[in-house]
Structure 1
Amino acid sequence: MDHRLEPLLEKPPAWLLPGGPDADVVVASRIRLARNLDDRPFPHRLAPEEARRLCTEVRERLSVFFEEGLALEPETLSKADADLLVERSLASRDLLEAPRPTLILFNQEESVGLMVNEEDHFRIQSFASGLNLQVAAKVARPLVRKIGSRFPLARHPKLGYLTACPTNTGSGMRASLLIHLPALSRQKSSLQHALQAAQKSNLAVRGVHGEGSRALGQLYQISNQRTLGTDWSSQLEAVQGFGQEVARYERETRRALLREAGPRKLLEEDFGRAHQVLAESEALTTAQALDALSVLRLAVHCGLADELGFSLDSHLMLLNSFQLQPGHLQARVGSELPPEARDASRARLLRESLSIS
């Protein structure tokens, strides 16, 4: 493991801290902004030496902003270290796999970061725990202003900020929520209704790690699709409003699970199986662990765990949902592991962390 990444294992990222609004449903809020230079081709057309020069310029001009954080060149990282950054939402797969020099910067709290030479020259990211898009936007603004004052940005007087992908042109802003919908996921028609409502509101629905990823552990990512013709505030309001609505809908469904005899019995059985899986399994895949933790978190939040006499920490289970993914797991054990060894370590570390037996 790169020694510079070791401090990341000592604390959760800002977006996984406890106490965020509506955190029983909305895990985290993220703002991502795309910006490009007006005097250079988009990253996919940059010559390698031009891409490297931009990385050097960013280090020189923005190093003060990230003084207590890290600046990393993905080409120097192992696969396990790269996985760790993806799991903490500090880097995208597109950045890590780009055929050109790239750069990742983030602050000590991991509340704001910057990807250089991904799809766009600059991808600014900011985070907050729970349903807190306004706070995430506030965190992003100083970096946005600093970049604008130090680099000439590509902006059209009518269209707004120009981006490599036309769907980002305009504000260049994507507001997204990471939401946990275990109760709605148990009732497929209710889940479909919620996801269709999101799509009718011009919101995109993806898996936990964005486009192309699966909704492991009933975790979904919701974000705005429109960036052209509307401003920051209206885009934030649309995503924030849906977050509030889906949180209400998920809670109603959780309460209904305990009121109705059939669904309650099924949840009790699933809770027992999930607890047994975590207590007795010699090996667990990421998907198996996330699904079991999701059932346990649902039982905590709807009150079933207490009724059955189990004392479980929902936030600790949420932390484990991320800390026992492949990158974190290998960082914790200090070496790259084949899948079978990862699965065995995951099962053991989960039992130890959650004190389940």
Structure 2
Amino acid sequence: MTTIMENLLNQPLVPWLSGAGPEGEIVLSSRIRLARNLRSQPFPGRASAAELGEIVAALQQVPADLGEADGHKYELAALDGLSPLARNVLVEKHIVSPSHITDPENRALIVRDDASVSIMVNEEDHLRLQCLEAGLNLGDALDKANAVDDIIEAKHDVAFMDTIGYLTACPTNIGTGLRASVMVHLPALVLTKQMGRMVAIATQLGLTVRGLYGEGSEAAGNVFQISNQVTLGRNEQDIVTSLNGVVKHIVDKERMARELLLNESPDLLADRVWRAYGVLRYAQSICANEALSLLSEVRLGIDLGVIDEVLPEVFTKLLVMTRPSFLQNLAGDTVLHQADSNKLRAKLIRSSLQKS
């Protein structure tokens, strides 16, 4: 296994989950994803195994082309060359989608050394290119994505029509092929029971709100993904501007909800976050979802100054480290059963809080 893939699998904190960037205490990351297809081949859902293999083969030079342009190292990894555990770790780190690893044969991943650029090969489309930035930074993510797209399109003929735009497997992606999304931490809106109204507003504005791992997932740890639903008939800048405006509104509402909790029930808030800290600090066994829920409340306490002995980045670090596949990867050849996993998770949390 190469150094890039080893680092990607073993290091919990990637730059775009550092907690830095605009609105970083609430907006964890921003992502731009572009869907592209090679004109000469059928969409992955209709392609034969041989055709899927031809698509992977046609993209072998892409890592070198990208690296020459920006000075970073890129590599192409065949998914069926990775263990099932490694593939699940990539899902937990938001590098690939759950559907991309369902059938790994003739599917691949192109990834940059800092994981801020990755390309899923033969997911729903031939290319699912994504660029990530820390905080609310959709503009820089879009610039990076367009630069990568230009390099690829300079050497590969992609499916495009002047009257429609980019052709994609799913009709909702036709046009720009762009999905812009942000990952946000909204514990105060959840605690004050305003989250339902925020979801309704976002839906009315053509956005969708999903859980931690996107479509079909739950909002573990009060972390949500907000993204655009429609690409046809809208240009890239309109999509990004619209999402940016809605997210800023939600961020303002989250801040107001935090102030409400701090001003109207400071004792209850303090008791809640310190109880969460106490459980995490001393628990000998804890399941994944309970850990994320308590870590969310501790992070809220840190952001509001209730807890001053823990660094904010502990939350984003443990957001990855406490996931089941990442824990198993840390354990190496030792098979973790549920009880073992819960014990190791608690141990890592205790250690992280002590070091912080």
Q: SS of the residue aligned with 2:227?
A: strand
The 5 Å alignment of 1:325-340 reads 325-335=323-333, 336-340=335-339
Structure 1 residue 60 corresponds to structure 2 residue 61? yes
CA deviation after TM superposition for structure 1 residue 232, in Å: 0.2
Q: Report the AA paired with residue 83 of structure 2.
A: S
Q: What corresponds to 2:177 in structure 1?
A: 172
User: Percent identity, aligned pairs only?
Assistant: 34
Q: Report the AA paired with residue 46 of structure 1.
A: A
Structure 1 residue 266 corresponds to structure 2 residue 271? no
Q: What corresponds to 1:312 in structure 2?
A: 310
8 A contact 1:171–1:228 mirrored in 2 = yes
CA deviation after TM superposition for structure 1 residue 10, in Å: 4.0
8 A contact 2:284–2:347 mirrored in 1 = yes
Residue deviations 1:269-297 (CA, integer Å, cap 9, x gap): 32232122112221111101101110001
Q: SS of the residue aligned with 1:70?
A: strand
Residue deviations 1:29-86 (CA, integer Å, cap 9, x gap): 0000101122211111111111112111101344332572332111122222112111
Q: What corresponds to 1:192 in structure 2?
A: 196
CA deviation after TM superposition for structure 1 residue 100, in Å: 4.4
Q: What corresponds to 1:127 in structure 2?
A: 132
Rate the CA distance shift 1:83–1:91 in 2: closer, same or farther, 3 A: same
Q: What corresponds to 2:52 in structure 1?
A: 51
Q: What corresponds to 1:206 in structure 2?
A: 210
- For the residues of structure 1 that align with 2:109 and 2:28, how far apart are their CA atoms? 24
Q: What corresponds to 1:42 in structure 2?
A: 43
Structure 1 residue 6 corresponds to structure 2 residue 11? no
Structure 1 residue 232 corresponds to structure 2 residue 236? yes
Structure 1 residue 257 corresponds to structure 2 residue 261? yes
Q: Report the AA paired with residue 31 of structure 2.
A: R
- For the residues of structure 1 that align with 2:355 and 2:109, how far apart are their CA atoms? 37
- For the residues of structure 1 that align with 2:337 and 2:135, how far apart are their CA atoms? 34
Deviation larger for 280-289 or 130-139: 280-289
CA RMSD of aligned residues (A): 1.9
Structure 1 residue 80 corresponds to structure 2 residue 85? yes
- For the residues of structure 2 that align with 1:280 and 1:240, how far apart are their CA atoms? 40
Q: SS of the residue aligned with 1:28?
A: strand
Q: How does the TM-score come out when normalised to structure 2?
A: 0.93
Structure 1 residue 241 corresponds to structure 2 residue 259? no
Q: What corresponds to 1:288 in structure 2?
A: 290
Rate the CA distance shift 1:280–1:2 in 2: closer, same or farther, 3 A: farther
- For the residues of structure 1 that align with 2:90 and 2:197, how far apart are their CA atoms? 33
CA deviation after TM superposition for structure 1 residue 2, in Å: 8.0
Gaps of 5+ in 1: none
- For the residues of structure 2 that align with 1:356 and 1:274, how far apart are their CA atoms? 18
CA deviation after TM superposition for structure 1 residue 11, in Å: 6.4
Gaps of 5+ in 2: none
Residue deviations 1:90-145 (CA, integer Å, cap 9, x gap): 11111111364101011011111111110001100000000000011111122101
Deviation larger for 72-81 or 163-172: 72-81
CA deviation after TM superposition for structure 1 residue 22, in Å: 0.2
8 A contact 2:33–2:129 mirrored in 1 = yes
8 A contact 1:14–1:127 mirrored in 2 = no
Q: SS of the residue aligned with 1:196?
A: helix
8 A contact 1:317–1:354 mirrored in 2 = no
- For the residues of structure 2 that align with 1:94 and 1:280, how far apart are their CA atoms? 37
Q: What corresponds to 1:324 in structure 2?
A: 322
8 A contact 1:74–1:102 mirrored in 2 = yes
Q: Report the AA paired with residue 337 of structure 1.
A: L
8 A contact 2:165–2:175 mirrored in 1 = yes
Q: SS of the residue aligned with 2:66?
A: coil
Q: What corresponds to 1:17 in structure 2?
A: 18
Pairs aligned (count): 350
8 A contact 1:2–1:81 mirrored in 2 = no
CA deviation after TM superposition for structure 1 residue 18, in Å: 3.6
Deviation larger for 65-74 or 45-54: 65-74
Q: How does the TM-score come out when normalised to structure 1?
A: 0.93
Q: SS of the residue aligned with 2:59?
A: helix
8 A contact 2:18–2:316 mirrored in 1 = no
Q: Report the AA paired with residue 343 of structure 1.
A: N
